[in-house]
Structures are given as C-alpha cells and as structure tokens.
Chains A and B, each alone.
Chain A
C-alpha cells in the first residue's frame, strides 16, 4: 500500500513539474478559453438571447461555467496526449517495466493532470467578478471541488483514449471530435430548455451535463435559482461522481490491455 502511494505520488509530481517548467502550456491553456469567453460571450451578449435563460443572468455569466469546462477539457486533452508517445519511446517505458500496476500508473497520471486543471481553474475562477459573479469562500471551495471532479473524469477519458491510440495526431483528432460535441450538448454553451426535443434528449443522456450542472450549483451556491442547472445539486453531484468513477475504471481497463509494442 505504501508502495502504491509512493508510485502514484511520484507520477503525479512528474506531471505537475513538467507542466510548470513549460510556461507556454500554462499560458495557452488559460488564454484559449479566455479568448473564447471574451469574444464569444461579449459578441453574443447583445444579439444572442436564447430562450430558457435563468432569470437575472446575462449570456456572459451563463457561458462562464461552460468556458471553465472547456478549459478543463483542453487541459485534459493536452496533458494526456503525451501518453501516446511516452509509452513507446519516452518516460513511460521505464514505468511499464517497473513493479507497478497499470491501475496505479493511470491513478498517478489522472491525479497529476487533474491538478494541472485545478491550477488553471483557480486562476480562471479569480476572474469570476469580471463576469459579475461574486463568489463566497464557500462557493469557491465547492466550485473547485466540482472542477476537480470534472477534470478527473475528462482526464480519465483522455487517458483511456491515449493508451489505445497509436499516434498523437490521431489522438488529437479523435478527442476533438468526441469531446467538443459532448461539451456543446452539455448545456455549457446555451440553455437546454429552449433547444429542440432531440437536442434536449441527447443532453439528458450526456453525463457531462450533470457535471456542468454540479459546477453551476457550486458557483451559485447561495442562489440556486440563478444557477441555470437542470437537476438539484445532490443528484448532479452524484451523477458527476459516478461518471468520474466510470471513466477512471475504463481508463485502468484500457491501460491494462494496452499494447506497448
């Protein structure tokens, strides 16, 4: 048990140190969603009035949690992509021949990437007042916890794919193709209430919807009516936890049988 902790911790540490030593990754991971938010949010603010908006929210505010999720998603993709090459000709080769289980490797990686997401999430959260969202200390902690949950789930999906994919290019193509629609269908970009029937259904079947919901609850801890969430907080969080757990187990399964040749 002590060994497993030591092993996972060292892999976690490696992800974090690598990230901090590549400032361009830090900058781009924050800048990309920020640009999205400012340009799209501000641009659509005046003309875009989707039906089903929660009372008292303007679009920039509604879009804010969606942008956080987008940032978590980008970070998850970029942080897990290295697994594709790393296991054939990089650092992971040495890890794969060490007396460590594949599940522990995935745990260390997932926790490492989740930490990266959280570091950026915290910076992004500090900009909430710009959107007119004022957070209590409690709301900040709950929001960070929800972001951690979403990041862990996304990272696990990224790892499941990265352990299976043979080329980095293929990985990026597939992840963008998979994750962007999931993001758009999660109520992150516009309220579900006003969308066509089929759209509403796919949104309800999308586990990310509930993760975004959970984050909305965290951000609007004091005034749930403004959150724009579709389910009560307890249910959203429960579904988000189940989603993260499922994604993690999937990643460990994939890693266990992944080809290293």
Chain B
C-alpha cells in the first residue's frame, strides 16, 4: 500500500466521522476583554439543519459569541468545532463552510450589487462561469435581478439586507450565521426574511444560527439558548422553556413592593419575585388569584397584569432580571 492510499483512506475515515458530527460543537467557551469577562463556560451543540437562536439582552454575550463562531475573535479558552473542524486550528476549512450576515452591512455602498457579489466570490476562490451562475441564481432567488447594476448605497435597508444574504450564501455555506438579522427591518421585510430562512433550511439543509433580542424572532427558532451575563442559562425549544414557567404570570405594580410582597406571602402563602420594583408571581389558574389580590390589597395596587408566559417571562424566571432592564431604567 502506497503512502498516498493511506492518506486517502484516513482522509475518507475522517470525513466519515465528520459526516455524523454536529454543525457546531462548543465546549467551555470563554472570552474576556481585559479584566471583563464577556463569556464563561459556554457549552452547547447545534445539529445539522437546525434553526438555533441565541437570545439575550444587550451585553449578555451574544455578540462575543457571534464573533467567536464567525472566526473574527480568537478562541481564548475552551474549544469549538464546526462540522468537525476546529475553529482555532482549521480556520480556512471552517470559513469555507460558513456564511456570515453581519448586523452592520458588510457591503461596499459604492459598488453595485453585482460587483459586491463578485468581490465576495473572488475571496472564496469563485470566478468565471461559476461565479456568474451562482450570482445570477442568488439574485434571482432573492428578487434582486433587476437591481444588479444599482449601487448598493441607493438601495433601501431591507434590500441591502437581502443583498447581504445573497452574498453570504454565494459560496454555498453549510451553516449560516446571522447577527441580529431583523434589526432595521420593517415587519413585512422581517416576515419575508424569515420565510426565506425556513426555505433554506427546508430545501438546502442549511443550518441557521442567529443572535437576537427579539422575542418573536426567538419564537421561530427550533431551539434557543438564553445568554445572561456571559453564561448560557438555558437551552431548549421555546415551547419547552415556556412550559417550565409555572402556569400563568402575574405582575403587580405598587408603591411599596416589599411590604406588599410580605403581605401576599402571609395571606396567600405565595412566594413571589421582585423584579425591578414590581412583584411577579408564577401560578397556574392565576385568574382567580387576581380577583383575590384586588379584593385584599386593592388600595395598595397600582396595576396588575396577567398572562400566559412569554419568552420574556422565561428570561425573568431564569435570571431574576428584567430582559430590557438595561434599556429602560425603572424607578
């Protein structure tokens, strides 16, 4: 047996092993900026053909994770594999399999749509006939054929996002990684964008991984990972996470929250959480409780809200923090 057959067969074995591997397999990923820890001990795996979302408030670690997975930031601790290829050691193999959609467009506004796609193709070693075919196919699919000769700076935000997507898919990546893809899109454009993502997963078996702080977007994922202060606090399908919250959710706003919290505990034997000055109770069949609460403490209560748990409630349930606490200061 010659040396080349040995290496060929070991190559085949390696590929066979990889064929069964997850799209992403991350273990104990950590990252710090100087002294500030942005991610710690993040472990997860994402299956092929899955739509997976990382949900978390700003500052939760989503962007850092996106930068690690897109090979923009170096792996500082832990390890990650993409289709069996090590992110730190086999960067070129990883990058060829990866399509990245950035939050800020990575398009050159002075170039036309076609020129942007061509530049992207060249960077991935695609040129000539294959480039023309891929480019035409992507433009056609995303309804951009008529805009091919237009400069990107003349397009609307929604159209630019589509060009960005066409670009990221030009080299036929097996995994599409998107950073806050819905930011700056109106609801109609957002729906259209998501329909296309689902189409990609359905018909081309592209694995889709995205970061988001929109609950509606997270709802559409097969599974979500919730990031809070650099830690992955949960990882499950959205429905499963919501059913973990006990039944219904009641939120009471009042002037003296702690006093009322103690009174509720004494009277109804109910434990509650204090979240940003509001009392939060998780309970099944809570509509009866709402009536009882108002009967008992009507004078003190400013407002009561009652509802089925949302992903926002899941976040509060898991972390004890309001999702948008940093964005909307409460007093």
Contact between B123 and A7 (Cβ–Cβ < 8 Å)? yes
Contact between A97 and B98 (Cβ–Cβ < 8 Å)? yes
Question: Is A47 close to B, CB under 8 A?
Answer: no
Contacts of B220 in A (CB 8 A): none
Question: Is B122 close to A, CB under 8 A?
Answer: yes
Contact between B125 and A97 (Cβ–Cβ < 8 Å)? no
Question: Is B102 close to A, CB under 8 A?
Answer: yes
Given A17-B110, A18-B110, A94-B120 contact (CB < 8 Å): yes
Question: Is A10 close to B, CB under 8 A?
Answer: yes
Bound state CA distance, A115 and B106, in angstroms? 24
How many B residues are at the interface, by size bracket? 20 to 34
Contact between B167 and A3 (Cβ–Cβ < 8 Å)? no
Contact between A260 and B73 (Cβ–Cβ < 8 Å)? yes
Given A10-B118, A91-B106, A94-B120, A3-B125 contact (CB < 8 Å): yes
Measured CB to CB, the closest approach of chain A to B178, in angstroms, equals 12
Contact between B110 and A94 (Cβ–Cβ < 8 Å)? no
Contacts of A21 in B (CB 8 A): 110, 151
Residues of B57-75 whose CB lies within 8 A of A = 64, 67, 70-73
How many A residues are at the interface, by size bracket? 20 to 34
The 8 A CB mask of B196-227 against A (1 = contact, 0 = none) is 00000000000000000000000000000000
Question: Is B44 close to A, CB under 8 A?
Answer: no
Contacts of B110 in A (CB 8 A): 17-18, 21-22
Contact between B72 and A96 (Cβ–Cβ < 8 Å)? yes
Question: Is B115 close to A, CB under 8 A?
Answer: yes
Measured CB to CB, the closest approach of chain A to B89, in angstroms, equals 14
Measured CB to CB, the closest approach of chain B to A141, in angstroms, equals 30
Contact between A97 and B71 (Cβ–Cβ < 8 Å)? yes
Question: Is B185 close to A, CB under 8 A?
Answer: no
The 8 A CB mask of B106-119 against A (1 = contact, 0 = none) is 11101100010011
Contact between A261 and B72 (Cβ–Cβ < 8 Å)? yes
Question: Is B124 close to A, CB under 8 A?
Answer: yes
B127, B151, B167: the one within 8 Å of A94 (CB): B167
The residue on B at minimum CB distance from A96 is B72
Contacts of A100 in B (CB 8 A): 123
Contacts of B115 in A (CB 8 A): 14, 17
Contacts of B120 in A (CB 8 A): 94, 98
Contacts of B107 in A (CB 8 A): 91, 94
Contacts of A95 in B (CB 8 A): 123
Contacts of A22 in B (CB 8 A): 110
Contact between B122 and A94 (Cβ–Cβ < 8 Å)? no
Of A21, A89, A95, A98, which is in contact with the most chain B CB atoms at under 10 Å from its CB?
A98
Question: Is B285 close to A, CB under 8 A?
Answer: no
The 8 A CB mask of B69-108 against A (1 = contact, 0 = none) is 0111100000000000000000110011010101011111
Bound state CA distance, A231 and B64, in angstroms? 53
User: Which residue numbers of A lie inside 8 Å of B, CB to CB?
Assistant: 2-3, 6-7, 9-11, 13-14, 17-18, 21-22, 88-100, 260-261
A-B contact pairs, 9 of them (CB 8 A): A7-B123, A7-B125, A89-B102, A94-B123, A94-B167, A96-B71, A97-B95, A99-B123, A260-B67
